Every structure is written in structure tokens, then in C-alpha cells.
Amino acid sequence: MTEQVSRVPAHVAIILDGNGRWAKKRGLPRSVGHSEGCKTVEQTVRDAADLGIRYLTVYGFSTENWKRDSDEVSALMTLFRFYVKRLLNIAKENNVRVVMIGDRNRFDRDLIEGVNRLERETADNTRMTFVIALNYGARDEIRRAAAKIAADVRDGKLSPEDVTEKTVSDALDTAGIPDPDLLIRTGGEMRLSNYLLWQCAYTEFYVTDLLWPDFNKGELVRAIEDYNGRERRYGGVIRK
């Protein structure tokens, strides 16, 4: 596809939702919705890089998602294992850097090592940064940041008066990554679901009824065009 848009937001964040409904509509198990959804993630990484997006952040698994059926959680872990390896090639082919946000310590050892390797081996790639949120919850991220800052104060490295907004931003998992300009949610729900609460203070929202496995480059372009029509008072600079 050759669609291009005139002005592209630097950072697009996505809440991919609707995998389960997509499968249910077809009489298939939810796990099939998730594997189709992973294909859509893969394609969206390529599409976003082609469009000139510099940062793409995708919500893969929330801290709340552990409460799902154990069969569904283990199907998701199997998919992550597969994609951690596959993403290494995709990222290398497309000059994409991969960064994981969220608390990786809860995953099995091999998955943690896979993620560490993915980050390490793509660290110098420059075309786009693909941020994947796994075992991510914004409240948990803020809690961990608060603990880090508290430890620095305790150790005499920082005084409470010197805690600025930047101190907080720098203690979050997204340190060094600009705030999202545009947040896209598929599946029609109008909520944040504990995603990037601090970072989305001035982010523009775009909600589509499309279920995630049906998301495509055309809809990504529509979201960007819609965003281009908004008047932003605060927030990021729109890149050419």
C-alpha cells in the first residue's frame, strides 16, 4: 500500500482490544483471536515505520490480564514466546528498536531473557522505536517510580524539593520516550484501562469499533488524519 499522510504524529500509542470478540463472532476460541491479533501487531509495526511514525507503543498484556482464565493466560504466554523470537528478525529487517515497558519480573526466566535479548540486539536501530507494554499497568508503573524516587531520597541522592515532573517522568518505564501524541483504541470501549496514565495527560484519543484483528493501515491513516484535524493546545510538536 502506498498511502501516505502529510503530517505524522511522532508517537502513536495503541490499546489493541477486541481479539476475544473477533474470535467469538466466528465461533472460534479466544486464543485464535489473540494469534490473529499478533499478526496485526506485526503488520502495524511495518505500517507505522512506513508512515514515518517514530514511536509506536502497543498494549500487549495488562497487570489485570492475569485474572483471566488460566488457559487464556497460558495461550498468551505461548504467543509471547513465539513473537519474542520472531520480532528479533522483524526488528532487524526494519531497523526498529524494541523496548519493553511493564514489570518483566513476573514472567518465566526464558521469556525475560528473550525480552532482554530483543532490547539489547535492537538498541542501535534508528527508524522507529516499538514499545511493547507487557505486564503493564500505569498505576503499577507509577508505584514503582515512587519507590525508586523514595529510595534516592533515603540514600541522600535527591531531596524532596528537587522532585520535579521530569524526575517522575525519568523514573517511569517510558523514560526518554516522548509522550504519545495520539492514542488509538480498537474495539469501541471509551476507557484507558490503566494505560499510560501519566504520559497521556494531553494525548488525543481516537476510538474505532473495528476489532483489533481487523485493524489495518487504512484505519491507522484515518486515525492520523482525524488527529491532524484537531486543535492541540498542549502536547507534542507535530513533525513534518
Residue 86: how many other CB atoms lie within 10 Å = 12
Query: Alpha helix locations (H) across 53-200?
Result: 70-93, 109-122, 138-154, 165-171
As measured in angstroms, the least distance from the Cβ of 123 to ligand IPE is 25
Choose the stretch contacting ligand IPE; rule: CB under 6 A; options: 17-25, 100-108, 109-117, 142-150: 17-25
Rounded CA-CA distance 145/110 in Å is 26
50 is catalytic: no
The one-letter amino acid at 176 = G
Q: Does 98 bind ligand IPE (CB under 6 A)?
A: no
Q: Does 17 bind Mg ion (CB under 5 A)?
A: yes
Give the nearer residue to ligand IPE in terms of CB position, either 113 or 189.
Answer: 189
Q: Does 102 bind ligand IPE (CB under 6 A)?
A: no
- Restricting to residues 186-205, name those near ligand IPE by CB under 6 A: 187, 189, 191, 193
Burial pattern 152-177, b for ≥16 Cβ within 10 A else e, equals beeeeebeeeebeeeebbebbbbeeb
DSSP 52: T
Q: Does 94 bind ligand IPE (CB under 6 A)?
A: no
The closest alpha carbon to 186, from 201, 205, 203, belongs to 205
17 is catalytic: yes
As measured in angstroms, the least distance from the Cβ of 200 to ligand IPE is 14
With CB under 5 to 8 Å by kind, the binding choice for 107 among ligand IPE, Mg ion, none is: none
